[in-house]
Amino acid sequence: MSSVRIALIACSNGLGHVRRMLSLSLALRARGASPVLLAPKDAVLRLSMVYGIPIPEVINFESRTMRSDWLASDACCWADYLPPLDDFDEVVSDNLVEILALRPKAWLSGSFFWHMALQNFPPHKAAIAEELLAQHRPRMISTGLFAARYLAAKTNLVTVGLYALGRLVRANLKSDLLISCGRGGEAENETNTLIKSIASGDRPGNYIVWVEPTLYSYGMPRWIRPASYTPDMYSRLVAAAIRPGVGTATEALLAGARLFMFHESGSLEMAHNARQIAKNGFGGVYVSAKDAWRALVDFAKRREAMAEHANSLQELDCDGADQAACLLLKSLN
């Protein structure tokens, strides 16, 4: 099996996509395959260092698919920047449909399609994506918790569990809270206001409060700290008020935290993720970061609610990477 080479193309829109493909690369290597990760090398090195995992074989690749790239009518297709893929036995493309023009039998990965998730997506770009999907009806692997409803209609969809990166760590002492928004436009602005308000008020119990690092200011109380997003930080979380990107939501759930979710208006991806998590009983959706924080503080005071949440997590499937690796290798046989 060591001769099987699999290209894992990570959408470079944040660490969540790179994290998923890195997790899959570890599972494939454990089963004797030779995965190669096409992703921003600095992001791969950062994750490898933070999680204490081996550095995989990497081809430094920026997909150039930020929101502004997708919405620009004249931007080049991200696939134009790919290196040659002829030497690979299989290709997996995370959230990037356009790979099908180069590799019609490629697998897709992820939980949504960009042309379905972004408002004002250029119609001609969306038409190309839809034509590729209709022509090839690709195989797709998605975490069941986050999979958008339309995926099953447009692909040969297989759902798996959450992608854990490294070993699962849940501290015996749950002593911390988290406020995280990423790059969320309106959500970022209101989160900044919330953090400043918290910093000027009373400490919520004996908890340490980790906050979005770009919104942390020196001089804040010692019980407020810039989020490190390390396994140790996640392992201590009781609850998290977050804009529910798949990466942050996955890590928080794997660590046992309850999620209190908010997001900017018009973000179809975040709205879907929040609904799915709430529907499965792992958190709640709130109009604003302020409302999410108030609900979180109330939850953190109630031991019965925390115990009930811990019980609900027993149903959480955390073996997605290995399940996906098995599917890929089985298909090659």
Q: What's the N-to-C CA distance of the chain in angstroms?
A: 10
In a shared domain, residues 9 and 155: yes
In a shared domain, residues 100 and 225: no
- Beta-carbon contacts of residue 31 (< 8 Å; ≥ 6 apart): 1, 325, 326, 329
CB–CB of 165/182 below 8 Å? no
Q: Please state the domain count of the chain.
A: 2
Residue 197: which domain range?
A: 176-315
Question: CA 63, CA 170: separation in Å to the nearest integer?
Answer: 34
For residue 171, being part of any structural domain is answered with no
Examine the pLDDT at 295 and tell me if it is beyond 50. Answer: yes
For residue 258, being part of any structural domain is answered with yes
Examine the pLDDT at 2 and tell me if it is beyond 60. Answer: no
For residue 219, being part of any structural domain is answered with yes
User: What is the per-residue pLDDT for 185?
Assistant: 66
User: What is the per-residue pLDDT for 1?
Assistant: 44
Digit-coded pLDDT (tens) for 301-312: 999 999 999 898
In a shared domain, residues 12 and 127: yes
In a shared domain, residues 18 and 118: yes
For residue 191, being part of any structural domain is answered with yes
In a shared domain, residues 24 and 146: yes
In a shared domain, residues 12 and 146: yes
CB–CB of 208/223 below 8 Å? yes
Digit-coded pLDDT (tens) for 146-193: 999 999 999 999 999 999 987 776 666 788 999 999 876 678 899 999
| Mean pLDDT (whole number) for 248-258 | 94
Digit-coded pLDDT (tens) for 37-50: 999 999 999 999 98
Reported as a pLDDT band with limits 50, 70 and 90, residue 3 is: confident
In a shared domain, residues 181 and 154: no
User: What is the per-residue pLDDT for 324?
Assistant: 98
| Mean pLDDT (whole number) for 99-123 | 94
In a shared domain, residues 194 and 295: yes
For residue 25, being part of any structural domain is answered with yes
| Mean pLDDT (whole number) for 84-109 | 96
Q: What is the CATH number of the domain that holds 40?
A: 3.40.50.2000
pTM (predicted TM-score): 0.91
In a shared domain, residues 150 and 232: no
Digit-coded pLDDT (tens) for 194-217: 999 999 999 999 999 999 999 999
In a shared domain, residues 272 and 309: yes
In a shared domain, residues 133 and 216: no
For residue 118, being part of any structural domain is answered with yes
Question: CA 281, CA 328: separation in Å to the nearest integer?
Answer: 30
- Beta-carbon contacts of residue 279 (< 8 Å; ≥ 6 apart): none
Residue percentage of the chain with pLDDT more than 90: 81
User: What is the per-residue pLDDT for 171?
Assistant: 63
In a shared domain, residues 145 and 284: no
